Structure 1
Amino acid sequence: MSDAPSASAARSAVVAAAIDLFAEHGFDQTSVEQIAQAAGVSRSTFFRQFGGKEDVVFADHELLLDQLRSYLGKTHANPWVAVCEASVRVFTHFTKDAELARRRYLVVRDVPALRDREIVTVFRYERLFDEYLRQALPGLDPLDAVGFSALVTAVHNHVLRRLLRGPRKVPVSELRTALDGAMRRFGVHPDGSDAAPDDLAVAVFPRRMPIAEVARRLEAELG
């Protein structure tokens, strides 16, 4: 049985080596050859895996976006909660190696081209959530879809920056609490207990709750 590292582990090793070199010598001053040598791979292997230096910095995001597409492609009882859980998955990924995430943050912060790409990457998460909500909730007002997607993305980034900017640990519970608040402000928090079959139910919904979410909840209860 082979004990060679998996493709994922080998890829992660290249990313870590690249980030360390960028942090020590600067992004522009670090060559692909130096990264390949530090990671113990050939130059051709590097380009086959990543394409370029910028791609190394954002390799985790490409992987995460693919994973979230798969996750959101499944059936979920509550689409609003599913979007929040997708956000939690991204946060959890970066807490697994917080020091590497912090070094990457410092590299991106100091390179204008990387900052621009980061903005585009954040928008890709927001667009993924937006498209999912529109598909999962037919009839949802597009403004509600994009508004909630932007809110979740902003809340996630705010909590993630606490992790990236300081040495202290930021537990995932902080993000979950913040996302609970976001769902409450948007009027879509899954509050309440299940009604018994013979209960008489009086439904009261916040005025701000999207009509599509009102319809979804009524269908779930009455169906």
Structure 2
Amino acid sequence: MTDSAAPHGPDGSASPQATAVRYLTEHGYEQTTTSSLADAIGMSRSTFFRRFGSKEDVVFADHDLALSQLQEQLDSSTLSASATIALGTLEVSRVLTRDPVTARMRAQLLRSTPLLRERELVITHRYERMFQRYLARVALPGTPDWGAIAAAAAVVAVHNAALRRWMKFGDDQAFGELERELTALIARFSPWFGGERDASRVVVASFDAATAPEDVLRAIASELG
């Protein structure tokens, strides 16, 4: 996606995507034909298909952009796992909410349209798989296979909770809190994804064979203490 995902055109007018989401919200998704939607945003039907693909695709154009940018960031990041996850997720939030009016209309449209809710679930799984692949790549040796799966699902769940909070209450602090929440979340999975392991110490002890076991344990505990 390029300018089709931009919130406003060069002259400050609503973007084709924003206009399309508004039209679908006001006229109903099922009741709107692709031809009438193309007319509403001032495009021919063939241009609409080239630019968006379908009326379903136009609703999720921001997600396409967010997923593309997220993948680029995950592929190129040299930061810690927690910083990479936090910054990538916050950028997703920025893309999805940069046009607040359209974001809320899209949420309203999804609530009223089962077909779109199903597509939303598919997109949610795309985010999870993207995070999962990244976390599996940076995981330290010995990390169980389910570690990346669980962490990725948790990241998406925490992000979606913040997004819902922003949608419902207009909470401007939601995404500031999200950064701290995600950093704390990944830390919970330490040391699998770049966290610090507790320092290891090796103690070599030599005792007379006649030494009582409790005396051996006391001596080792004293050394470790």
Q: Shared topology, TM-score over 0.5? A: yes
Aligned to 1:150: 153
Question: Which runs of at least 4 in structure 1 moved beyond 6 Å after TM superposition?
Answer: 215-218
Q: Distance in 2 between matches of 1:45 and 1:160?
A: 32
User: Equivalences for 1:194-209 in 2 at 5 Å?
Assistant: 209=191
Aligned to 1:213: 194
Mark the runs of 5 or more structure 1 residues left unpaired by the alignment. 1-6, 189-208, 219-223
1:9 aligns with 2:3: yes
> Identical aligned pairs, as a percentage?
35
Aligned to 2:47: 45
User: Equivalences for 1:60-209 in 2 at 5 Å?
Assistant: 60-137=62-139, 139=141, 140-184=143-187, 186-188=188-190, 209=191
Taking a change above 3 Å as real, the CA distance of residues 103 and 215 of structure 1, as seen in their structure-2 partners, is same
Question: What TM-score do you get using the length of structure 2 for normalisation?
Answer: 0.76
Query: How many angstroms does 1:138 deviate by?
Result: 5.2
Question: What TM-score do you get using the length of structure 1 for normalisation?
Answer: 0.77
Taking a change above 3 Å as real, the CA distance of residues 143 and 10 of structure 1, as seen in their structure-2 partners, is closer
Query: How many angstroms does 1:123 deviate by?
Result: 1.0
Mark the runs of 5 or more structure 2 residues left unpaired by the alignment. 7-14, 200-225
CA contact (8 A) 1:155 1:179 kept: yes
Larger radius of gyration: 2
CA contact (8 A) 1:19 1:57 kept: yes
Aligned to 1:196: none
- Secondary structure, aligned partner of 2:43: coil
Q: Distance in 2 between matches of 1:86 and 1:96?
A: 15
Q: Distance in 1 between matches of 2:196 and 2:111?
A: 44
- 1:44-95 per-residue CA deviation (whole Å, 9 max, x = no partner) reads 0110112111111111111111111111111423123212221111111223
